[in-house]
Amino acid sequence: MRDPKARSIPWFPRLLACLAWLVLPSGVATAEALDPADGPHLELKIRLDSDALRMQVTMNIVFLDAIVTFARESPDAIAPVEGPALLDALQAWADEDLLARVDGIDVAPIIDGLMISDPSMELLPLFPRTGMRGIRKVRFQVEWPLKTEPQEIEFDWPSYPPDVAIDPDDPPPIQIAAEAEVDGIREAIFFTVESPTWLWRNGSTSIDERLQRIPVPVPVEPWRVPIVSLLLLVVGVVPGIILLAAGAGRALIGIILMLGCSVGAWALGDVAVREVRVGSGPELVMPSSADAEALFVPLHANIYRAFDYVEESDIYDALERSVEGGLLDLLYRSIYESLIMEEEQGAMSRVIAVRPVELVVESISPLEANESGPRIGFSALYRWQVDGRVTHWGHVHERTNEYLARFDVVGTTTGWRIGSLELLEQERVDQYDDLDAYRQDLDDPFDDDSFDL
């Protein structure tokens, strides 16, 4: 664990960058920095609707030829007249390998909506190994009908052709980049030979289930003053002391009086109790340094979880549980717009892990109360790492970024919120250094130059 010594970066020009880097694993590297690797490509988009589980499958011909065989004139193209044969071959393959288990029952798939792209020749020089088979893609829909609302769905992806783009001489099985959208949650999925299963259970997508629970600040307990017990003690102790001081003849009476009133005060301790507060209003219990550290890490991690949601209102509601005030609006706008930009350009950026490196609570203090009531807060210097995966052209790029920032955290009776942040350091710490040198095609190959079958 490193001591998080800070090298300050001017805050205003770095603030927006910090907000985007907080969530996006690729930082400022968008689709323009990712390469169309010269090998098999596959992209899967899964969506659970009320009547069916649906999956959009996009693959190039290299991948297609690894899973089905059908008669066609040219190995580099698929003519419209050859589409029905391809559709039949895909349906036969799906009937064998693409069963989905819904509540323990196998459901057969239906293949439909086949499209074949007619790609731009400008990309051909980037595919010296696979040529037109590498840049020409097919897209089709897979549908598993649902009769009732499912409680559990399990699905295995079956095919992993050799990824010659990684190692032409000894290619490993390809990793499959996918994305699932269920109940307003969008999550990245990565199928591998070792981990081929996607499992979903009903009820796992609510905000309360997905966000880590953080204890709410509690008011300082008021003093409980037992009025009757205090009166008995005054009546018994003061005269008793006087009687004890008067001499031996009255000492026994003083002792009996004090004992009797003490027993009565104990027995009547819950009678006529009044609560007394110090100050003008209820205060909040100040956390210890250990308490502040324990609540800050999940509070910070919940920022990332908020952006798993699809709808803007859900993102905002989840984010509102971790961030307050002007920072909430700024964080929402900057990160949401960055995510939309990446997806429109063909890259998917998803956080897969948030890892604390070092946390120092610098100060803990009461804050001035406002219209919502009493407030407390602390300042924390936090260094953390974000592991992310960026997918483009069906390939996965893993990245790790490290950040150092100072956070001001505010606690009220409604919970803890991050009130402000100052980015101090940011750096890329993974092994990928040359992605900016690659070119890629930003256009969806099925937008214009394609035909339906």
- Please write the tens of the pLDDT for every residue from 102-149: 999 999 999 999 998 888 788 788 888 889 999 899 999 999 999 999
Whether 235 has a pLDDT exceeding 90, the answer reads no
Amino acid in the structure at residue 148: T
Please report, as a single letter, which amino acid is at residue 72. Answer: R
Give whole-number Cα distances, 338 to 149, 191, 343, in Å: 34, 26, 9
The sheet with strand 105-107 has its strands ordered as 105-107, 100-102, 152-156, 197-201
Q: What confidence score (pLDDT) does residue 311 get?
A: 78
Secondary structure (H, E, C), 357-400: EEEEEEEEEEEEEECCEEEEEEEEEEEEEEEEEEEECCEEEEEE
At 411-435, the pLDDT tens digits run 988 899 999 888 898 888 864 433 3
* Residue 28: predicted pLDDT: 39
Residue 396's contacts (CB-CB under 8 Å, 6 or more residues apart) are 175, 177, 190, 389, 390
Q: pLDDT higher for 95 or 436?
A: 95
Over residues 222-234, the mean pLDDT reads 66
* pLDDT score recorded for residue 6: 45
Cβ contacts of residue 81 below 8 Å, gap of 6+?
none
| Sign for the pseudo-dihedral over CA of 62, 64, 68, 73 | negative
Quick check: 404 and 429 in contact, CB under 8 A? no
pTM of the predicted protein model: 0.63
Q: Quickly count: other Cβ atoms within 10 Å of residue 125's Cβ.
A: 8
Write down the pLDDT at residue 5. Answer: 46
Residue of 70 and 267 predicted with greater confidence: 70
| pLDDT given at position 204 | 64
- pLDDT of 441 reads 34
Residue 8: pLDDT band by 50, 70, 90 thresholds? Answer: very low
Q: Residue 236 — very low, low, confident or very high, per pLDDT cuts 50/70/90? A: low
What confidence tier does 272 reach under pLDDT thresholds 50, 70, 90? low
Which has the minimum average pLDDT: 115-129, 192-206, 346-360? 346-360
Lookup: tokens for 417: 């919120």
pLDDT at 211: 80
pLDDT at 7: 44
Q: How confident is the model at residue 438 (pLDDT cuts 50, 70, 90)?
A: very low
Closest Cα partner for 6 from 280, 401, 382? 382
CA dist., res. 90 & res. 11, Å (int): 55
Compare 453 and 249 and report the one with higher pLDDT. Answer: 249
Per-residue pLDDT at 33 exceeds 50: no
367: β partners: 375
Cβ atoms of 253 and 243 within 8 Å: the answer is yes
Residue 274: band (very low, low, confident or very high) from pLDDT cuts 50, 70, 90: low
Q: What is the pLDDT of residue 85?
A: 94
Instruction: Please determine, for residue 50, whether its predicted confidence score (pLDDT) is greater than 50.
Output: yes
pLDDT at 186: 81
Position 151 confidence tier, pLDDT thresholds 50, 70, 90: very high
Please check the confidence at residue 278 and state whether its pLDDT lies above 60: no
The 3-class SS string of the chain reads CCCCCCCCCCHHHHHHHHHHHHHCCCCCCCHHHCCCCCCCCEEEEEEECCCEEEEEEEEEHHHHHHHCCCCCCCCCCCCHHHHHHHHHHHHHHHHHHCCEEECCEEECCEEEEEEEECCCHHHHHHCCCCCHHHHCEEEEEEEEECCCCCCEEEEECCCCCECCCCCCCCCCECCEEEEEEECCEEEEEEECCCCCEEEEECCCCCHHHHCCCCCCCCECCCEEEEHHHHHHHHHHHHHHHHHHHHCHHHHHHHHHHHHHHHHHHHHCCCCCEEEECCCCCCCECCCCHHHHHHHHHHHHHHHHHHCCECCHHHHHHHHCCCECHHHHHHHHHHHHHHHHHHHHCCCEEEEEEEEEEEEEEEEEEEEEEECCEEEEEEEEEEEEEEEEEEEECCEEEEEEEEEEEEEEEEEECCEEEEEEEEEEEEEECCCCCCHHHCCCCCCCCCCCCEEEC
Mean of the per-residue pLDDT values of the chain = 78
Predicted confidence band at 27 (pLDDT cuts at 50, 70, 90)? very low
Q: Is the pLDDT confidence value at 302 over 70?
A: yes
Q: What is the pLDDT of residue 254?
A: 67
Top-ranked range on mean pLDDT: pick from 265-269, 307-311, 411-415 = 411-415
pLDDT at 271: 65
Q: How far is CA 205 from the centre of its chain?
A: 12
Average pLDDT over residues 239-263: 69
Answer with the residue of higher pLDDT: 303 or 260: 303
| Token pair 């005269």 in the structure block, residue | 239
